[in-house]
Amino acid sequence: MPQRGEYLCGALQEIRAKQSSYQIEGAPHEDGRADSIWDTFCRIPGKIADGTNGDVACDSYHRYKEDVALLKQLGAKAYRFSISWSRVIPLGGRNDPVNDAGLQYYINLVDELHANGIVPMVTLFHWDLPQALYDRYGGFMNQGEYVQDYVNFAKVMFKAMGSKVKHWITYNEPWCSSILGYSIGQFAPGHTSDRKKSPIGDSSTEPWLVGHALLVSHGAAVKLYREEFKQEDGGTIGITLNGDWVEPWDSNEPKDVEACERKLEFSISWFADPIYKGEYPASMRKQLGDRLPTFTEAERALVQGSNDFYGMNHYCANYIKHKSTDAEPQDYVGNLEMLLEDKGGQSIGPETQSPWLRPYPKGFRKLIKWISDRYGRPIIYVTENGTSLKGENDMPMEQILGDDFRAEYFRGYINALAEAVTLDNVDCRGYMAWSLMDNFEWAEGYETRFGVTYVDYEGGQKRYPKKSAKVVAEVFTSLCQS
Ligand code: GBH
């Protein structure tokens, strides 16, 4: 067994940062970009907590050179960002024109990263479907059309940047597009059975169809990459899945322990089992019956084996309590309750600004091992990990810049990752903090901040690195020297 430091440096040479198009770029109508479903969703009153949108965000469309300079200053070795599909193909479809000016923005960004010695990792899709495809045929809900249009978009990107980009991610968190977009309606396009929230949607069927279409389109894009680009470009491609850890609400109750496994299956294995094993998990089939689509042989051939690496987004943990009644038709978690306190009233972790997020670093080590064991020790990139901080938006500047809580979060989580790599033999090749800068936090607007850099939205968009930015760099440096 190599020394802890040695192994970790071999495995995790890169400190990285990460952001997504709609959350940072702004410039929604510049150089020919058209609306995505997030532009239109933000216009519906009541959908975004503070009534804001991504029209300006961090203004990164104009300030990408500043962003790259910041990355360099913070010692980042790589940068994960996503593409706005409707910037590159405004109308989205395979017969629609490519917008060269929009495409050029991403080429310029990649060139700027390389000029500064920073490795680009590109996510093709982070939730912002071109509105035109939603209007034309219902977007993800029309699998036949959607898969062809997604593959065409992927091809445009591989062609334009394949020689410069060696790490591709097809999707960021398909769970969110499916569940938050088509079951709860909290994210664009806002479908749900809850008629108080939306005039359209069927939470009992749509999310499972959407998930299926996303998986098949992922598989089809990977096939294209492997057949037409991989050999020459020498890159790798995978999908990024979200997943948080689970602990039983009552550890003496076998049904709570069992429900924990089911929760992981409903959130992670829904996508990862088809990719690594060719089939949806049995627990999902059992609960959802034929509302969960089945794979045709052709679809299975596309999806199974379609990951060169596993992209892991991870933030927190929950306590899980089983339910003894039958699952409701709209249930998407696996007939269980997700709680922040256990039976004894103990909280899983301290509160943050995000109601769903309480840090529990030990859960990180446990979950990476769970993923590694279940899927045959895949190469893993941690593609997001980070926290908000309770009340941060209202704090005085010195306190914001001295974000000890976030610094502590990163210390705990990165050390837990180091343990997984050195003690549990997990094959993790990189780590990306979420996020480089405060940005548009979707339905929570700008009140919730996740950045290791403060963005002064009102004060000319100036960026101020917080203490946590230094700490992430220090933790890696010290792990690599120890
Ligand atoms: C990431 O998702 C996103 O990729 C990123 O864009 C975002 O800024 C970042 O999180 C911070 O939020 O309300 O109980 O149904 C994180 C994964 C999965 C976390 C869904 C919130 C909602 C739980 N998200 N989860 S609940």
Task: To the nearest 10°, report the CA torsion of 337, 48, 139, 152.
Answer: -110
Respond yes or no: is residue 173 known to be catalytic. yes
Quick one: which of 185, 189, 216, 226 has its CA closest to 203? 185
One-letter amino acid of 390: K
The C-alpha atoms of residue 461 and residue 458 are separated, in whole angstroms, by 7
For 21-48, letters b (16+ CB in 10 Å) and e give: bbbbbbbbeeeebbbbbbbbbbeeeebb
CB 152 within 8 A of CB 85: no
CB 334 within 8 A of CB 283: yes
CB 125 within 8 A of CB 170: yes
CB 265 within 8 A of CB 284: yes
> Which pLDDT value is given to residue 6?
42
Residues 19-77: tens digit of each pLDDT: 899 999 999 999 999 999 999 999 999 999 999 999 999 999 999 999 999 999 999 99
**Catalytically annotated residue among 25, 112, 145, 173:** 173
Position in ligand 1 atom list of the atom nearest CA 20: 6
Q: What is the CATH number of the domain that holds 90?
A: 3.20.20.80
Phi, psi (rounded to 5 degrees) for 418:
-60, -40
Q: Name the helix (H) or strand (E) containing 248.
A: strand 245-248
Task: To the nearest 10°, report the CA torsion of 440, 178, 152, 83.
Answer: 10
- Domain count for the chain, please give it: 1
Ligand 1, atom 14, residue with closest C-alpha: 356
- Asked if residue 2 has pLDDT above 50, the reply is no
Q: What is the mean pLDDT of residues 328-342?
A: 98
Quick one: which of 323, 288, 295 has its CA closest to 204? 288
Residues 229-241: tens digit of each pLDDT: 999 999 999 999 9
Cα Rg of the chain, angstroms: 21
Global pTM exceeds 0.85: yes
Residues 132-141: tens digit of each pLDDT: 999 999 999 9
Tokens of 455: 């963005």
> Which pLDDT value is given to residue 7?
42
Q: Does the beta carbon of 173 lie inside 6 Å of ligand 1?
A: yes
Q: Does the beta carbon of 450 lie inside 6 Å of ligand 1?
A: yes
Q: Does the beta carbon of 76 lie inside 6 Å of ligand 1?
A: no
Residues 147-197: tens digit of each pLDDT: 999 999 999 999 999 999 999 999 999 999 999 999 999 999 999 999 999
Phi, psi (rounded to 5 degrees) for 390:
-55, 125
Measured in Å, residue 170 CA sits from the centre of ligand 1 at: 18
Residue-level length of the chain: 482
Q: 335's torsion region: left (phi>0), alpha (psi -120 to 50) or beta?
A: left
Residues 69-122: tens digit of each pLDDT: 999 999 999 999 999 999 999 999 999 999 999 999 999 999 999 999 999 999
CB 353 within 8 A of CB 448: yes
Measured in Å, residue 173 CA sits from the centre of ligand 1 at: 9
The C-alpha atoms of residue 374 and residue 473 are separated, in whole angstroms, by 31
- Asked if residue 333 has pLDDT above 60, the reply is yes
Q: Does the beta carbon of 444 lie inside 6 Å of ligand 1?
A: no
Respond yes or no: is residue 384 known to be catalytic. yes
Quick one: which of 272, 155, 167 has its CA closest to 214? 272
To test the ligand 1 pocket, which listed residue (186, 318, 367, 434) has its Cβ within 8 A of the most ligand atoms? 434
CA distance to 63, 96, 174, 354, per residue, from 52 (Å): 20, 30, 24, 17
Ligand 1, atom 17, residue with closest C-alpha: 242
* Number of other residues whose CB lies within 10 A of the CB of residue 159: 13
The domain of 155 spans 4-480
Q: Does the beta carbon of 434 lie inside 6 Å of ligand 1?
A: yes
